[in-house]
Amino acid sequence: MMGGTRGRMGRVLAAIAGAWLLGICAAQADDDLAAAQKQFVTSCGTCHVVDPKAGPRQGPNLAGLIGRKAGTYPGYKYSAALANAGFTWDADNLDKWITNAQAFKPGTTMPYRQADPAKRARIIAYLKSLSVEK
Ligand code: HEC
């Protein structure tokens, strides 16, 4: 009987703690996304935009990148390496690409490499967040 009471009490406390944690997680997620966006602008923003209405810079527009076929953004003149790549962007190949673009796709004109996995993860999280919202 005592056990039952403690069990209920435990569940109530767990529910309260859970609700409190969810609040923290939501705030944390906002911070993470802000950090991710900042990382993207710092690392990629010189050459890339993500606003579909903006024209390309040195590199193609990255709006809706995850799930997009490589080398196909309208109006951008890709290298043959990327135009003929034939794969679709996902978190995995994007990670390899920004680790060292020219090693991943020899012949590409993107001169970028990022050795820090934490920075790459933030950039990928940001691009992913853009592809799920509409
Ligand atoms: C110095 C300029 C420059 C920087 C910095 C740069 N890129 Fe690029 N990016 C390019 C160019 C140029 C291309 C086109 C490559 C080609 O056609 O071979 C490109 C292509 C791409 C593509 C292929 C898009 C498609 O439509 O298939 C992706 C993805 C990409 N870049 C992501 C990134 C990310 C993420 C970063 C930051 C971590 C980054 N780039 C940093 C210049 C840059």
Domain ranges of the chain: 33-132
Q: What is the 34 CA–ligand 1 centroid distance (Å)?
A: 21
Give the model's pLDDT for residue 5: 64
21-49 pLDDT tens trace: 777 778 877 888 899 999 999 999 999 99
Tell me how far CA of residue 58 lies from CA of 14, 28, 61, 74, 101, in angstroms: 52, 33, 9, 14, 15
User: In the CATH scheme, what architecture does the domain 33-132 have?
Assistant: Orthogonal Bundle (1.10)
Beta bridge partners of 88: 69
- 3-state secondary structure (DSSP) of residue 42: helix
Give the model's pLDDT for residue 133: 47
Other Cβ atoms less than 10 A from the Cβ of 41: the count is 15
How far apart CA 78 and CA 59 sit, in angstroms, is 9
Percentages helix, strand, coil for the chain, rounded to the nearest 5? 55, 0, 40
Per-residue pLDDT of the chain (134 residues; tens, 9 = 90+): 555 567 887 787 787 877 777 777 788 778 888 999 999 999 999 999 999 898 888 999 999 999 999 999 999 999 999 999 999 999 999 999 999 999 999 999 999 999 999 999 999 999 999 876 44
Q: What is the 30 CA–ligand 1 centroid distance (Å)?
A: 26
Q: Which two tokens stand for residue 10?
A: 């435990």
Closest ligand 1 atom to the C-alpha of 83?
Answer: 17
What letter does residue 55 receive in the DSSP assignment? P
Q: What is the 37 CA–ligand 1 centroid distance (Å)?
A: 16
Smallest Cα–Cα separation from 93: which of 109, 113, 114, 70? 70
Q: Which two tokens stand for residue 121?
A: 């993860």
Closest ligand 1 atom to the C-alpha of 114?
Answer: 38
